[in-house]
Amino acid sequence: MAKLTTLKPRLQAVTTQRLKPMVIADSRITGWKLQARRKRMWAASPCCAVCGRLTEYPNGFELDHIISLYQGGPDTDDNCQILCNGDDGCHRKKTRDDMKGR
């Protein structure tokens, strides 16, 4: 009986080591901590920081970072402000102006 020849493998072995997760500089709070911050900041001052319009809780405002996270601003209460939302809201205007400046 003849001996069978084997083919050489064409694939290289892959390491199964897990890579370290990337550290994201602009990590932000989420979930109940974010909701607690929104309520706490709105209760302290329910008016828009730009135009002074009274906002409704919970959907009448956006919690905005004064210095954007992508620009190195911290995700802290001191760097957050209440801005009115909607089509003519201050949050939309600020976001539009930030996008133009990129």
In the numeric block, which tokens belong to residue 21?
A: 């997760």
Q: What are phi and psi of 62, to 5 degrees?
A: -120, 140
Identify the pLDDT of residue 94.
Answer: 93
pLDDT, tens digit (0-9, with 9 covering 90-100), for 50-75: 999 999 999 999 999 999 888 889 99
What is the structure's pLDDT at 20?
Answer: 54
Query: Exposed (0-12), middle (13-18) or buried (19+): which is 61, by Cβ within 10 Å?
Result: buried
Which residues in the chain come in under a pLDDT of 50? 22-26
pTM score of the predicted model = 0.70
- How crowded is residue 49: how many other Cβ atoms within 10 Å of its Cβ? 16
What pLDDT score does 23 carry?
Answer: 46
